[in-house]
Structure 1
Amino acid sequence: MRTHPDGVALLVCCEINSAMYVVDQTPRTGIVNSLFGDGAAAVVLTGRARPTARTPSVVDFESFCLPEHWAAMRFDWNADAGKWSFYVDRDIPYVIGGNIREPVETLLKRNGLDLPEVRHWIVHTGGGLVIDAVRRGLDLSDHDLRHTRSVLRDHGNISSGSFLVSLQRLLAEGSVAEGDRGVMVTMGPGAQIETALLEFGKPGKS
């Protein structure tokens, strides 16, 4: 919205993860089939809205790529099944947990903030071990990740839309106050970590 402040954008995340389910006896498909779920989420973005505590502004974002771990999360073509299947390495929680602090701290320091000043955390539902690794890597509490875990419990890992569902639950909870800061964290193949800084109730710069 920085380049088109009067524009309106629609972000749509639609994940039909069951389309990549493969039925066989391998551990990799057992993990994927039990972890991922189908889901869709959408959000309207605009630079014109009058900010309230329920309208978070995207202040800044930071991307972090780990090309040396590109194979830790990937799609492989399964010729027998005739479809792509997803692969998650057993070490991916440690890859994410061991690297999560760098992009988050880069994002915060660029905006003159420290970790304790972040009141709300919206984290991708990458699985129980990944959530635990993020919690340890950022010294978060179970309360900080309550919405991330509830989305995983209720819907599974719905991939790109998961952080929007967690954000929806945070806003519905009514615990956000004007001026609060929040951080969104997502991850995916690459291996890639994406972060965004939110401010509630005040206009953003994006």
Structure 2
Amino acid sequence: MDDKSIQFMKRMLENSGIGDQSYLPPSTHYIPPSHTLNDARDEADQVIFSSIDDLFAKTRISPDAIDIVVANCTVFSPVPSLADMIVNKYKLRSDVRSIHISGMGCSAGMISVEAAKSLLQVAPQGAHALVVSTEIVSFFKFYTGTNPAMLQPNVLFRMGGAAVLMSTSRSESRFKLMHTVRTITAAQDRSYQCAFQEEDDKGQLGVNLSKDLVSVAGDTLQANITAIGSLVLPLSEQLQFVLSVVARKLLNRKMKPYVPDFRMAFEHFCIHAGGRAVIDAVQRSLSLSDEDVEPSRMTLHRFGNTSSSSVWYELGYIDAKQKFLGSISSFPCEAAKQTHA
């Protein structure tokens, strides 16, 4: 890594919107950073088990009551899996249903919610699903080359995780999950390659964040909100959107499409805290106010990009201010709506 690369990361960090209280695991404090399997396991134990312990303490739910476990982490997929680590740690029942989701990026948290929802729909009434989302930074190999697109993950990602309890029991629930809508664009090469783990021309391994990433995010989000709009928007907004699409096709394809006012359907928004540019792009696309994107910006500043768990940090911020939500995250894009139960 040369001086130019170091200066690039320094400028990027200064403009990233990430504060100086975000967390990196101890293994990254060494020069050079350590990225062994044991380092990753230690970080997973610390993040996952502390989150679950806190969840059990707050909900007063016994581990014996857990029927489903869904864990997600993009880059760390050990054997045994993270889901099996949880089953072993808490000695869960032998008939528990467990799933580990890997390689799905920052939207994996909402994908896990959708998976848990599907399993709960065929489970007995009153069943409980434990959903755990994290990204293990210790296994996220520190890129030591000079490709700017591959230097970005060195700066953006931070240590973090969240545990969430879902149930079909109305009496135990604080909120009701109304809709989940997933849009995946991996069939398009431009989308498929926007975050791609690979070696550079000198054989250095890293994750390449494509220059198309923000525009891909915008396109995927546009498709996703079109799909969820029919479920949540009032008829007046749906009609204006349809008329706008028809007018573009018949009159002028260069005409800007009508952007529905999603604040008529959602009181609050959780935009994945992937970086300042991502939040800015979504804010512009949906014509949101600074107050609407405040949870995302504050999460990015305090915790950095914690990948799939970031929306839960934002929920915590909103909940602490006695607010609640509609949430949107992307690549693939997943939207969910919740209301008070």
- Give the alignment's TM-score, normalised by structure 1: 0.82
Which residue type is aligned with residue 192 of structure 2? W
Unaligned runs of 5+ in 1: 177-181
Residues 125-154 of structure 1, C-alpha deviations (whole Å, 9 max, x = no match): 111111111111111112111111111111
- Of residues 317, 323, 329, the one that matches 1:169 is 317
- Of residues 302, 308, 330, the one that matches 1:154 is 302
Determine if contact 1:23/1:29 at 8 Å carries over to the other structure.
no
Structure with greater helix share of residues: 2
The answer to whether structure 1 residue 187 and structure 2 residue 309 are counterparts is no
The corresponding residue for 1:63 is: 182
Residues 84-117 of structure 1, C-alpha deviations (whole Å, 9 max, x = no match): x222112211111233133123213124545222
- Of residues 86, 89, 102, the one that matches 2:210 is 89
The corresponding residue for 1:134 is: 282
Q: CA deviation at 1:77?
A: 4.8
Determine if contact 1:125/1:131 at 8 Å carries over to the other structure.
yes
Q: CA deviation at 1:38?
A: 1.4
Q: Secondary structure at the match of 1:119?
A: coil
Q: CA deviation at 1:3?
A: 2.4
The corresponding residue for 1:179 is: none
CA distance in 2, matches of 1:49, 1:13: 24
Q: Secondary structure at the match of 2:330?
A: strand
CA distance in 1, matches of 2:326, 2:199: 35
CA distance in 1, matches of 2:172, 2:130: 18
The corresponding residue for 2:198 is: 76
Determine if contact 2:132/2:163 at 8 Å carries over to the other structure.
yes
Determine if contact 1:41/1:164 at 8 Å carries over to the other structure.
yes
The corresponding residue for 2:99 is: none
Number of positions where the alignment pairs a residue of Structure 1 with one of Structure 2: 189
Q: CA deviation at 1:56?
A: 2.4
Q: CA deviation at 1:51?
A: 7.0
The corresponding residue for 2:336 is: 196
- From the CA coordinates, give the structure whose radius of gyration is larger: 2
- Aligned-CA RMSD value: 2.1
The corresponding residue for 1:125 is: 273
Q: CA deviation at 1:26?
A: 2.4
Unaligned runs of 5+ in 2: 1-119, 238-261
Q: Percent identity, please.
A: 23
Which residue type is aligned with residue 152 of structure 1? L
1:59–1:29 CA distance, 2 compared to 1 (3 A): same
Which residue type is aligned with residue 17 of structure 1? V
